[in-house]
Amino acid sequence: MKRGLVVSFLALLIALTVVSCGGASGTEGETGTAGEAGDGGTQGSSGSSESGGKQFPAGDFGYILNDTKDGIIITYYTGSSFDVVFPDTIEDYPVVGFLSFFSGNKKLTSVSLPDTITAIPNTAFYNCEALAKVKLPASLVSIGNSAFNSTALTSVELPLALTTIGSYAFGSCSSLKSISLPETLTTVREGGFYHCRNLSSFNVPAALTQYGYNVFSDCHKLPLAVRDQLTAQGYSASQF
């Protein structure tokens, strides 16, 4: 009788031990699977972050990939400095453009743009009334409409690659006194230098023959020699 009770007790103890080990094994298997799924989920999230249309911080700048996925477009600035230097690369991609997020900024004083940028967008620095200094890219081909309108620039040296200045790009820059135009410049659209009342130092490239309406209207300090050269190259004398 006693021997039977002992045997039964030992059998029960062995059964409980087997069940306990099996449960622990199952827990470990579930933990391992969850870890693998977590890693996969993180990688998936990181991978989706590279798709176009999403914005990511890079120091003081937010950015997206351009449509061709070979360059960066800067979309915003969160830094505290008002002397802003744009990076030339982010995550090994060249910075090829930016949006007009500085338009209307009253505290921006200077901007340096990388040589990887070829175009300045419309209203990029419109009404940035404290902006007195800008470093333009050597590769710059075009300046958009009202890009520097109503800024505090006193002098500008435009790069040799430039061909087009947009409408009112430098309009109402009342502090602008001198500007150096490259020989590659062919076109200045309507009101490009409208109301630049202190503009007095100005060269006329031989290739500049495409003028919009009132490009130099209200530029009272333009020297007579400059006016004569402009009219000789097709600008209307009635629009000074």
pLDDT tens-digit readout, 70-97 = 999 999 999 999 999 999 999 999 999 9
What's the CA gap between 170 and 198, in Å, rounded?
12
Q: Does some domain include residue 196? A: yes
Query: Measured between alpha carbons, how far is 227 from 72 in angstroms, rounded to an integer?
Result: 42
Structural domain includes residue 184: yes
In a domain, 177, yes or no: yes
Domain range holding 211?
A: 108-240
Rounded to 5 degrees, φ, ψ at 110 are: -150, 155
Q: Is residue 48 part of a domain?
A: no
Answer yes or no: is 18 within a domain. no
Does residue 19 lie in a domain region?
Answer: no
| Residue pLDDT, tens place only, 18-67 | 334 444 334 333 333 223 323 332 222 233 334 345 566 678 999 999 99
* CATH value at residue 237: 3.80.10.10
Tokens of 102: 């500085």
- Identify whether 36 is part of a domain: no
Whether 3 is in a domain gets the answer: no
- Whats the size of the chain, residue-wise? 240
- For residue 18, the surrounding DSSP H or E stretch is helix 2-48
pLDDT of residue 97: 98
Put simply, whether the predicted model's pTM sits higher than 0.85 gets the answer no
Is 122 buried (19+), middle (13-18) or exposed (0-12) by CB count in 10 A? Answer: middle
Q: Give the number of domains in the chain.
A: 1
Determine the residue type at 223. P
pLDDT at 80: 93
